[in-house]
């Protein structure tokens, strides 16, 4: 059940990103009086949903025919890939969140030059990217079995909540400070990603692709005993283990120490530059 919280927030963030992008596309079409093309956006979105669920199903049931060592190797590799993708996505969103409407408007206009056929592809890529990232990251956090069930439920509910929020934002009923939303969810995802990275390294050690699987850096199982609710909670959300290997621990620590401060600095720097540019434009308009 503890895994539910982590995957819910992942689904909420990724789902809201996709909902915002699709909402901007539809708003631009309606503003341009091209309502007949909105159906193409929904076609692309439905295809993206099918791709995401298919990819998630492949991750969940595909490895069953492999040997245990091959499953560990595949799981470790995909977990590290998930960390790379989610890290890229977090920084990309920090950069584009302040200009996303302008950027999407330009992409829509380019797509319209192909008689609207490009809208299907644009919607498919925009929503599909978030869906595949969600499936990969949720799988890296949960694995298979009971955790996969609760993880999937949490992610789906998070996505549904994101869809509702996206609709309310589109209709003007809800105002959310997206800068703060993406900052705090980005911090959370980086902490989660650090745990997934450590989990992936341990899987590769179990598969004998990395050394030192039995070299334990510390053992605090007496503080966090197996089965205790707080141990289960930390393990479910952050992939916490009270007996990490040396390599697993250092991979977790270095990722966290480097990525977290860099992200916070980058996000705030982007916001400051955007505010300065907006103030400069306002000053120029007044002088005219």
pLDDT in tens, 251-278: 999 999 999 999 999 888 887 877 777 7
User: Which pLDDT value is given to residue 247?
Assistant: 94
Burial of 27 (0-12, 13-18, 19+ CB in 10 A): middle
Q: Facing residues of 131 across strands?
A: none
Q: What pLDDT, in 10s, does the model give residues 169-215?
A: 777 777 777 777 778 888 888 998 898 899 889 989 988 899 888 89
Residue 279 phi/psi, 5° resolution? -65, -40
Return the ∠ at Cα 13 (arms to 151 and 76), rounded to 5°.
50
Residue 34 phi/psi, 5° resolution? -120, 50
Which band of pLDDT confidence, cut at 50, 70 and 90, is reported for residue 167?
confident
144 has a pLDDT exceeding 70: no
Tell me the torsion sign for CA atoms 102, 105, 109, 114: positive
135 has a pLDDT exceeding 70: yes
The pair of structure tokens assigned to 274 is 């955007």
Q: How many domains does the chain have?
A: 1
Range(s) of the domain holding residue 131: 3-287
């Amino acid at each position: 059940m503890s895994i539910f919280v982590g995957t819910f927030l992942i689904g909420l963030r990724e789902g809201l990103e996709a909902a915002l992008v699709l909402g901007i596309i539809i708003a631009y079409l309606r503003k341009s009086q091209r309502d007949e093309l909105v159906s193409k956006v929904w076609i692309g979105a439905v295809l993206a949903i099918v791709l995401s669920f298919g990819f998630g199903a492949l991750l969940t049931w595909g490895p069953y025919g492999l040997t245990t060592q091959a499953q560990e190797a595949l799981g470790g590799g995909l977990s590290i890939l998930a960390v790379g993708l989610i890290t890229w996505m977090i920084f990309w969103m920090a950069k584009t969140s302040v200009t996303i409407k302008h950027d999407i408007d330009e992409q829509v206009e380019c797509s319209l030059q192909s008689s609207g056929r490009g809208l299907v592809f644009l919607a498919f890529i925009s929503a599909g990217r978030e869906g595949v990232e969600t499936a990969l990251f949720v799988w890296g956090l949960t694995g298979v079995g009971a955790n996969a069930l609760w993880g999937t439920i949490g992610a789906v509910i998070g996505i549904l909540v994101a869809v509702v929020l996206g609709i309310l934002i589109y209709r003007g009923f809800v105002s959310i400070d997206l800068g703060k939303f993406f900052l705090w969810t980005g911090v959370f995802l980086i902490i989660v990603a650090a745990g997934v990275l450590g989990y992936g390294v341990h899987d590769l050690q179990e598969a004998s692709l990395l050394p030192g699987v039995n070299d334990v850096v510390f053992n605090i199982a007496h503080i966090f005993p197996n089965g205790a609710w707080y141990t289960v909670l930390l393990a479910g959300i952050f992939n916490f283990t009270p007996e990490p290997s040396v390599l697993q621990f250092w991979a977790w620590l270095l990722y966290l120490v480097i990525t977290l401060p860099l992200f916070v600095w980058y996000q705030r720097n982007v916001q400051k530059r955007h505010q300065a540019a907006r103030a400069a434009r306002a000053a120029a308009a007044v002088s005219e």
